[in-house]
A and B are shown apart, each in its own frame.
Chain A
Amino acid sequence: EPEVTQTPSHQVTQMGQEVILRCVPISNHLYFYWYRQILGQKVEFLVSFYNNEISEKSEIFDDQFSVERPDGSNFTLKIRSTKLEDSAMYFCASSGDRYSREFFGPGTRLTVL
């Protein structure tokens, strides 16, 4: 079965630093998503991306966050100036169309010190 991959698996950074989380969605998928899960809490939607632009974003996705699909295969999430509360598992997902099954990646655990 095709897989969504994410790198790195674990990222440790100092507060105030910029981080870029990388994802390679399934090749023929058109919809891309980022979610986060703070330890012990539920998964929360951050942003959806379609046709090279953001189609929806949550209140969490403020000006510190940005997404990009730089080369047609990678899908990145950038956090400009990390805060302690950004520590979480970040999941990338992709789907073939808007209402079909989403495939999640294994996640990147971000730890902000």
Chain B
Amino acid sequence: KNQVEQSPQSLIILEGKNCTLQCNYTVSPFSNLRWYKQDTGRGPVSLTIMTFSENTKSNGRYTATLDADTKQSSLHITASQLSDSASYICVVILTGANNLFFGTGTRLTVIP
């Protein structure tokens, strides 16, 4: 069964600190993996897109890594800001498919 699992479910960090969010997937055959940020009550916004041949992709303070052998990805956020408070969702796409498999997300709260 195609699944995308994320950990932790929720995380609270102090402003300015770094954090790393994890994603494990069983989606196969795998095409690409994306990280999205979703503010409460809003649509998801794409942060990074990685194909199976890419190991890392950065977008400002966000750095995503991918290990296609172990089917794991991580999203590292550096120097967190209050505006980083949101849900971060790992999304995987099947090869040949035209839909996204969403993880359950990690709820990040950055406190002053």
Indicate whether B30 reaches chain A with its CB closer than 8 angstroms: no
CB neighbours of B98 from chain A (8 A): 31, 48, 50, 55-56, 98
State the Cβ distance, A56 to closest chain B Cβ, in Å: 4
19 A-B pairs besides A43-B102, A106-B43 with CB distance below 8 A are A41-B104, A42-B89, A42-B102, A42-B103, A42-B105, A43-B38, A43-B100, A44-B102, A45-B99, A45-B100, A45-B101, A48-B99, A56-B97, A56-B99, A91-B44, A99-B31, A102-B100, A103-B46, A104-B43
Q: How far is the CA of A4 from the CA of B98 in the complex (A)?
A: 19
Interface residue tally for chain A (C-beta within 8 Å)? 27
Q: How far is the CA of A50 from the CA of B46 in the complex (A)?
A: 21
Nearest A residue to B6 by beta-carbon distance? A42
Interface residue tally for chain B (C-beta within 8 Å)? 22
State the Cβ distance, A75 to closest chain B Cβ, in Å: 14
Contact with B along A77-113 (1 / 0, CB 8 A): 0000000000001010100001111111111000000
Nearest B residue to A45 by beta-carbon distance? B99
Nearest B residue to A93 by beta-carbon distance? B43
State the Cβ distance, B9 to closest chain A Cβ, in Å: 12
Query: How many contacting A-B pairs (Cβ < 8 A)?
Result: 53
Which applies to chain B's interface (DSSP): helix, strand, loop or mixed? strand
Given A105-B43, A106-B42, A107-B41, is A42 in contact with B104 using a C-beta cutoff of 8 Å?
Answer: yes
